[in-house]
Structure 1
Amino acid sequence: MDLQIAGRTALVTGGTRGIGRAIAELFAREGASVAICARDAQAVTETVADLAKVAPRASGRALDVADGDAVRSWVAATAEEFGGLDMIVANVSALAIGAGEAAWRAGFATDILGSVTLVDAAMPWLERSAAGSITLISSVSGREVDFAAGPYGAFKAALIHYAQGLAYQLAPRGLRANSVSPGNTYFPGGVWARIERDDPALFASALALNPTGRMATPEEVARAVVFLASPAASFITGTNLVVDGALTRGVQF
């Protein structure tokens, strides 16, 4: 299938590792110019160098998405450099699992305001695109109560609502918005790799919940994200695509 991505531009937050890195790499392999951000400057530099081997253009900036001014500056500079924006993916999460006020504030600043700021900053350029799309990375924890209940689950649920609201509001303007809810996703250096090392009992119990007997790979999630973001999904908007290997049992109407 031709995703009709070649020659377009994509912007991905948190693009140096895990799901975000896999999304950026797939956009690049499909022929899009790709811009990423992350907090680790060295990781950004190294990732951009790798993306530049396959993408028409690749760029990146070290920033914290909770810093609204930094996000707005980056989006504007990227749009100027690339001559516009077509597809944006809000991928960063604070992974705020806990009950304290600090966790709630971190989750809100990163997961919610980071996504809202990105969308608002990109909107002038998305409106000029013939294939403007917004994709927010949520989680199965936003659909059901699990061990991440609290700020993480609440804000991931809010992202699904936000994406569907955007879809309704932006459809008359030719823009699409969707969310993707991954299940447990394993990659070296990721949260589940750390849990496997530090809390093998929790890791084993989480693994046992999935009837496939394994967790997702970042590449499997990225394929869903890039398809939804692409013009190939031109009549899909306002959906929440669950990528969890049948982990969750709730029926999504």
Structure 2
Amino acid sequence: MDLHLAGKHFLVTGGTRGIGRAIAETFAAEGANVSLCARSVDAVAETVHALEAKGVKAFGRALDVTDTDALQSFIRDAAAKMKGLDGIVANTSALSSGDSVADFDAAYRTDLLHTRNAAEAAIPFLEKAGAGSIIAISSISGSEDYGYDGVSYGTMKAALFFYVKSLARHVAKKNIRANIVSPGTTYFEGGFWDKVKINDPKQFADTIAFNPMGRMATPQEIADVAVFLSSPRASFVAGANVVVDGTATQRIPN
């Protein structure tokens, strides 16, 4: 299926590894130009080079997404360099899952506030493009309680549901769509669940067994959904929370 993304420009936060990297590469595979940010200068440079090797334009910058000025300046600069902006994916997460003030502060600033700040910086460019997409990467941890040790992470992922729904209704008249993708457990080398596999094999095995599909997602499986939702092929999907979890969640959506 042609997603009609060739020549368009999409921006991904946390775009050098895991889900974010898969999203950036999938946009590029569809012929879209990609901008991305992450903390590591070397990782940003390597990812930009890899995307350019796919025949598209790429732009990257190392920054901390909790620095509002740096994040919004990057978005403005990326739009200027690529002569427009057609969509963003707010992917970065602190993966902060404890119950301390510091845990809540990190989750708030990284998972929730960076999404708001990225959206606000992007909206004028998306409106100018005539149509645009905002995707926030949340989690099934925002939908169901998987234990108090994940309370700060789940709380901010749940807050994204309200924010994006409200945002979607606000920007719909500008022909901008806002949606959420909520992954279940997602495995990649060097990621959170890879570390659990090494350090706590029982927890890893129990988590695998919890999912009726008997496995975790790959970053590519999450990316495919995020990129489709960003495309004109999903032109009437707005304000949605699309769960990609292999039936791990047990609630009935309402």
After TM superposition, the score normalised by the length of structure 2 is 0.98
Deviates more, 1:186-195 or 1:143-152: 143-152
Aligned to 1:163: 164
Using the alignment, how far apart are the partners of 1:56 and 1:198 within structure 2?
Answer: 39
| 8 Å CA contact 1:179, 1:241 repeated in 2 | yes
Using the alignment, how far apart are the partners of 2:46 and 2:61 within structure 1?
Answer: 11
Per-residue deviation at 1:157?
0.6
Using the alignment, how far apart are the partners of 1:38 and 1:209 within structure 2?
Answer: 32
- Is 1:45 the counterpart of 2:25? The answer is no
Using the alignment, how far apart are the partners of 1:186 and 1:55 within structure 2?
Answer: 28
* TM-superposition CA deviations, 1:98-148 (whole Å, max 9, x none): 011110010111111111110111111011113301000000000000035
Residue type of the alignment partner of 2:201: P
Aligned to 1:244: 245
SS across alignment from 2:150: coil
Residue type of the alignment partner of 1:124: P
Aligned to 1:219: 220
Per-residue deviation at 1:55?
4.2
Q: How does 1:148-159 map to 2 (within 5 A)?
A: 149-159=150-160
SS across alignment from 1:15: coil
Aligned to 2:29: 29
| 8 Å CA contact 1:32, 1:55 repeated in 2 | no
Unaligned runs of 5+ in 2: none
Aligned to 2:146: 146
Aligned to 1:174: 175
Using the alignment, how far apart are the partners of 1:90 and 1:11 within structure 2?
Answer: 8
Using the alignment, how far apart are the partners of 1:28 and 1:140 within structure 2?
Answer: 27
After TM superposition, the score normalised by the length of structure 1 is 0.98
SS across alignment from 1:227: helix
Using the alignment, how far apart are the partners of 1:110 and 1:202 within structure 2?
Answer: 26
Moved over 6 A (4+): none
- Is 1:205 the counterpart of 2:213? The answer is no
Using the alignment, how far apart are the partners of 1:204 and 1:74 within structure 2?
Answer: 40
Using the alignment, how far apart are the partners of 2:201 and 2:174 within structure 1?
Answer: 49
SS across alignment from 1:117: helix
Per-residue deviation at 1:97?
0.8
Residue type of the alignment partner of 1:230: S
**Share of identical aligned residues, percent?**
52
Unaligned runs of 5+ in 1: none
| 8 Å CA contact 1:35, 1:60 repeated in 2 | yes
Residue type of the alignment partner of 2:61: R
Across the two proteins, how many residue pairs are aligned to each other? 253
SS across alignment from 2:70: helix
Q: How does 1:121-140 map to 2 (within 5 A)?
A: 121-140=121-140
